[in-house]
Amino acid sequence: MDKQKLIMLPGPTNVSERVMQSMLNPIINHRGDAFRELYKDVLERTRHLFQTQGDVVVLSSSGTGGVEAAVWNLIRPGDVAVVPVFGEFSMRLAETVELAGGKAVRVASDFGKIPTLDQLKSAMDQQGRFKALLLVHNETSTGVAAPYIEEATRFARDHGAFAVIDAISSLGGYAIPVDRWGVDMCITGSQKCVAAPPGLAMLSVSKRVVDYLKSSPPKTRYFELPRYLEYGTRGETPFTPALPLYYALDEALKELLEEGLEKRVERHDRMSARIYDGLAKLGLQPVAERSVRSKTVVASYYPQGVDDSKFRKALAHDKGVVIAGGFGPFAGKVFRVGCMGQVNEGYVDATLRAIEETLPAFRN
pLDDT (tens digit per residue) in 261-300: 999 999 999 999 999 999 999 999 999 999 999 999 999 9
The CA distance from 103 to 110, in Å, is 21
The CA distance from 141 to 137, in Å, is 12
| Whole-number percent of the chain with pLDDT over 90 | 95
Answer yes or no: same fold for 6-12+260-362 and 17-258. no
Helix H or strand E encompassing 299? strand 297-301
The CA distance from 319 to 314, in Å, is 7
Start-to-end Cα distance in the chain: 35
Residue 30, number of CB atoms within 10 A of its CB: 18
pLDDT in tens, 205-233: 999 999 999 999 999 999 999 999 999 99
What is the crossing angle of helices 63-74 and 207-215, to 10°? Answer: 60
pLDDT-based confidence at residue 327 (cuts at 50, 70, 90): confident
Domain boundaries, the chain: 6-12+260-362, 17-258
pLDDT-based confidence at residue 1 (cuts at 50, 70, 90): very low
Give me the pLDDT at residue 30, please.
97
Cβ-proximal residues to 91 (8 Å cutoff; 6+ apart), any chain: 85
Provide φ and ψ at 30, rounded to 5°. Answer: -75, 0
CA dihedral in degrees (324, 329, 330, 332; nearest 10)?
80
pLDDT in tens, 313-325: 999 999 999 999 9
Question: Quick check: 171 and 50 in contact, CB under 8 A?
Answer: yes
**Annotation: CATH topology of 6-12+260-362:** Aspartate Aminotransferase, domain 1 (3.90.1150)
Give me the pLDDT at residue 363, please.
74
Question: Quick check: 88 and 141 in contact, CB under 8 A?
Answer: yes
Q: 3-class DSSP state for residue 277?
A: helix
Classify residue 187 by its DSSP letter: E
Closest-CA residue to 354 (of 329, 305, 318): 318
Please confirm whether the linkage preceding 12 is cis (ω < 30° from 0): yes
How much is the pTM? 0.96
Tell me what the mean pLDDT of segment 69-76 comes to. Answer: 98
Tell me what the mean pLDDT of segment 52-75 comes to. Answer: 98
Q: How far is CA 339 from the centre of its chain?
A: 12
**Annotation: CATH topology of 17-258:** Aspartate Aminotransferase; domain 2 (3.40.640)
Give me the pLDDT at residue 4, please.
85
The CA distance from 348 to 120, in Å, is 35
pLDDT over 90 (residue 180)? yes
